[in-house]
Chain A
Amino acid sequence: MKSQEEHGLIRINNVSHTFNTSSGKIRVLDKLTITVPKNSFCAIVGPSGCGKSTVTRLVAGLLQADEGSVWLQDQKVTSPRPVVGMAFQNPVLLEWRSILKNVMLPLEIVPNDLNMSEREARARNLLELVGLSGFEEKRPSELSGGMRQRASLCRALVHQPEVLILDEPFAALDAFTREDLWQTMHRLRSEEPFTGLLITHDLREAIFLADEIFVLSGRPATLQHTEVLSKRGQKNLDDLYSPEASQTLNTLREQIKIARQHEGPLT
């Protein structure tokens, strides 16, 4: 058997999906195939409404595909599994819990053999890593948007998931905060072993964070283009202004343009 590095920790295999809504059927995914190698960080970009969030829900086991199959660690995904951590654009922190208790939430659900103080230590550790030490006892509403998103990342990672799924987590943040969080993402990646799947509509974000970028076509989404970045892993912001990065950015822009033409009439 091939290793998950080459074989793919996440494999989306010929997946098609149609939603039945009151206004008719919406075909969202069309024979989509994507492979994410273990320990890599991949980004998915594509026109809005093309089905990116649907892909994350399929990988997380929150949704079953009509056709095709999704594999995680060589196991077919049929229901949610705690090897996944998720963060969304909305940080969805629980206002009645402190930041620390919010981060510890997954450990109350996922089976683990940590005792209370070990759980707390793990959460504090992550909070420190993202620069939130000193804010453990605060309520979510006392934090800025960027800080809440940092806490949300900690919660997504606290149970040491194999896969971190990020669905436009930085979309609501201002440009400077966003760049700070990009760097935080790299720091997390160097300390925590996870395979990342990032949904974004920010092409520079994809270039800065990802090793590989998948461009989806307009709805119904299919894989239109794969961009393998020459510089993988750790990057710094200056790399974004290198000639290669500009080249990549141009390619991606072209691809998005094509993707948007592909899109059927607005429904």
Chain B
Amino acid sequence: MRQIFSATFAILVFLVLWEVLVWVNDWPNYKMASPSDLWPAFWRFKGLFLVYGWETLWRTVVGLLLAILVGSAIGMLMGLSRFAREGLYPLLVGFNAIPKATVVPIVALIFVGQHDLNTVLIAFMISFFPIAVSVSIGLSTLEPEYRDILRSLGASNITIFWKIALPKTMPEFFGALKVAVTLAFIGTNLMEIVSPHGRGLGALFDSGKTNSDYPLMFAVLISLAVLGIGLYYVVIVLEHFIAGWAEREID
């Protein structure tokens, strides 16, 4: 309750400061929109916001799910086999080092017109790396005693994985997922903005730009922020239920 109150308060203060800043400097609409311009912009395009918001959301989530699947698989491979770790790590790091902004036009060209595939692919590519790394670190840093306790009872590697390695990796996994969810979101929007005749909030942003409709662009930014916060908190709630045991009481 107190958390919700302080969060709402912080947001209100932010909006008031923003409004005052625009008002004091007497910035016109095309330089910097103020919060009071946003609501009309939302209202005018409310149908589009709903449809495009949904597009952005589901593509991000699908990209993220792919990233979880593939990232965990790569992470398991690297975490459980030293050979795979030494082989794959440089490749992964190199892949991750490529700025995704340069990959976006390439992917857009390869799968021209396939907006959903394009977008999901970028969301996936940008977000699987932290998941793979965290899972591999979680698995490879499992203290040998944990393994020995079960191995000495005759447990198979699969049993050890399910009973110990996997649950023990969950806190790291969720730490990475919180980063990945934001990254996937960035990926989706990059593609939506770049891809011609695209859909999603990114495309709405782009059309705001083409039409010099600054309040619309800011309204898109705000709705992106809202979606981002929503996704992030979904991850937090999941973490609480699945890896809540790793939370420490602070006060």
A contact residues vs B (CB 8 Å cutoff): 57, 60-62, 79-82, 84-86, 88, 90, 92, 94-96, 105-106, 108-110, 139, 141, 155, 159
Contacts and interface: CB of A to CB of B under 8 A. Distances in A.
Given A90-B145, A95-B246, A139-B245, A62 B167 contact: no
A109 B158 CA distance: 12
Nearest to A110: B153
B150 interface: yes
Interface in B124-157: 143, 145-146, 148-155
A80 B153 contact: yes
Shortest Cβ-Cβ A-B pairs, 3 listed: A96-B245, A60-B152, A92-B145
B114 interface: no
Given A109-B154, A109-B155, A109-B159, A90 B149 contact: no
A62 B150 CA distance: 11
Contacts of A57: 148
B163 interface: yes
B62 interface: no
Given A62-B152, A106-B153, A110-B153, 20 more contacts: A61-B152, A80-B152, A81-B154, A84-B153, A85-B152, A86-B148, A88-B148, A90-B143, A90-B145, A92-B143, A92-B146, A94-B164, A95-B245, A95-B246, A96-B246, A105-B149, A105-B150, A109-B153, A109-B154, A110-B154
Contact of A82 (B148, B154, B159, B246): B154
A118 to B, nearest CB: 18
Size bracket of the B interface = 20 to 34
Contacts of B155: 109
A109 B150 contact: yes
Contacts of A159: 153
A43 B248 CA distance: 39
Nearest to A91: B145
A96 B245 CA distance: 5
A57 B151 CA distance: 11
8 contacts: A57-B148, A61-B152, A82-B154, A84-B152, A94-B164, A94-B167, A96-B246, A105-B149
Nearest to B246: A95
Nearest to A105: B163
Nearest to B248: A141
Nearest to A107: B153
Which among A79, A106, A155 has the greatest number of chain B C-beta atoms within 10 A? A106
Contacts of B164: 94
Nearest to B245: A96
A211 to B, nearest CB: 24
Given A88-B145, A90-B143, A96 B153 contact: no
B163 A108 contact: yes
